[in-house]
Amino acid sequence: MDCFVTAPRPSLEKTEKTKPFLSVLDGRKTATPPIWLMRQAGRYLPEYRELRAKSTNFLDFCYSPALAAEVTLQPIRRFGFDAAILFSDILVIPDALGQDVRFEAGEGPRLNPLTTAADIEDLAELSLDRLAPVFETIDRVKGALPAQTAFIGFCGAPWTVASYMIAGRGTPDQAPARLFAYREPDAFQILIDKLVEASIVYLKAQIKAGVEVVQIFDSWAGVLPTAEFERWCALPIAQIIAGVRKDHPDARIIAFPRGATTHLPQFIAHTHPNAIGLDTAVDPAWAAQEIPRETVIQGHLDPLVLLAGGKAQSAAVARILSAYRERGQIFNLGHGILPETPIAHVEALIEQVRSGA
């Protein structure tokens, strides 16, 4: 399809040459893979905890451009990662659709659950005004990043965001959303369609504000059987990617359908991301064979091995590096970094990845 053909963007050519992360996404080789970590701005950093203590309300923190920009930059200053990820949360979208979203200390997110088709119909139009501080954060970060550091924006995928909107909280198995989707597929489809539309508008606004790459997080894709995976994960993400590329044909997009396992080849065939985020459980030897060569692989060190450190860590890193030596790779974790992770283990990881061993 034409919308997947990328056109050069002359105004960016100069900076692209100096950003290894963008080079790999654009299909060029780098001596060693670029590296960033999911949740790299967060509680494992003492400087994050110090700033975080200044706001009781996590959403207020996300909507404070000075604080959010500073927290985005902290891991770049400390470690020199190849990409910064915007500091925000996937649940700003339900918030901007008028749902009540709160973060209780130590308990994670709480939303007023959507329990009926009428609740879904009653959601507001996406408020870009509500999200204005996010775009201001992007503007601030853009001007402060080192020349070689790429800038990633993001959103949650419709299925994962819907799972929080229906349950009103995080759940171990997303049972409330799965049940709702089986019992009331038409109403659930309306919710997914609203989230597809909102995500396209939101990602395009992030790109306009200055991010160079966007990642779509489908953290809970792994609980869906094949037919539901197609309908609630792959199809909505394909629509978002096509919708963003309609206005930005050269947009660089990373999809992270966590837990997609055997669905991955089909997922890529439907969605055509520039890179696929793999999770901890995927076998690197399988992925090197089965993921199309033009799709860059991002991942997928076990966050627990980074917490453990030592020989287990260096052996696991070496396995991932060697599996993808012949193709485009971005080094990352298979899910977010854990708050207990020692800083020294992150330093050792970066050193090993940049030594290429």
| Residue with smaller CB distance to ligand CP3, 16 or 94 | 94
Candidate list 44, 151, 159, 217; residue touching ligand CP3; CB under 6 A: 217
Q: Per CB under 6 A, does 42 bind ligand CP3?
A: yes
Candidate list 6, 52, 148, 309; residue touching ligand CP3; CB under 6 A: 52
Structure tokens given for 324: 């993808």
| Residue with smaller CB distance to ligand CP3, 170 or 249 | 170
Closest alpha carbon to 64 in 37, 145, 72, 47: 72
What angle, 0 to 180 degrees and rounded to 10, lies between the N-to-C axes of helices 158-167 and 185-209?
Answer: 120
Candidate list 26, 47, 89, 283; residue touching ligand CP3; CB under 6 A: 89
Provide the mask over 299-338, with x wherever binding to ligand CP3 is found by CB under 6 A and - wherever it is not: -------------------------------------x--
Site residues for ligand CP3, window 218-277 (CB under 6 A)?
A: 219
d(CA 217, CA 157) in angstroms, rounded, equals: 5
Judge whether 52 counts as a catalytic residue.
yes
329: exposed, middle or buried (C-beta count within 10 Å: 0-12, 13-18, 19+)?
buried
Q: What is the CA radius of gyration of the chain?
A: 19
Structure tokens given for 224: 């869906």
Judge whether 178 counts as a catalytic residue.
no
d(CA 127, CA 102) in angstroms, rounded, equals: 18
Structure tokens given for 115: 């329990």
Judge whether 89 counts as a catalytic residue.
yes
In the set 52, 78, 169, 354, the catalytic residue is 52
d(CA 84, CA 150) in angstroms, rounded, equals: 6
With tokens 């038409």, the residue in question is: 186
With tokens 């950093």, the residue in question is: 45
d(CA 195, CA 189) in angstroms, rounded, equals: 10
Q: Per CB under 6 A, does 91 bind ligand CP3?
A: yes
The minimum distance between CB 107 and ligand CP3, in angstroms, equals 8
Candidate list 41, 134, 244, 330; residue touching ligand CP3; CB under 6 A: 41
d(CA 160, CA 93) in angstroms, rounded, equals: 12
Q: Per CB under 6 A, does 39 bind ligand CP3?
A: yes
Q: 209 near 200, Cβ under 8 Å?
A: no
Q: Per CB under 6 A, does 159 bind ligand CP3?
A: no
Binding span for ligand CP3 by CB under 6 A among 26-34, 41-49, 284-292, 315-323: 41-49
Candidate list 35, 68, 73, 85; residue touching ligand CP3; CB under 6 A: 85
Relative to beta strand 150-156, strand 83-85 is parallel
The residue number with the shortest CB distance to ligand CP3 is 219
| Residue with smaller CB distance to ligand CP3, 57 or 115 | 57
Q: Per CB under 6 A, does 90 bind ligand CP3?
A: yes
**CA 131 to centroid of chain Cα atoms:** 18
CA distances from 51 to 47, 84, 273 (A): 6, 18, 35
Q: Per CB under 6 A, does 24 bind ligand CP3?
A: no
Q: Per CB under 6 A, does 200 bind ligand CP3?
A: no
The residues, any chain, with a CB within 8 Å of residue 121's CB and separated by 6 or more, are: 190
Candidate list 40, 174, 199, 313; residue touching ligand CP3; CB under 6 A: 40
Q: Per CB under 6 A, does 111 bind ligand CP3?
A: no
Q: Which residues bind ligand CP3 (CB under 6 A)?
A: 38-43, 52, 58, 85, 87, 89-91, 103, 108-109, 154, 156, 160, 170, 217, 219, 336
The residues assigned a catalytic role are 39, 43, 52, 89, 164
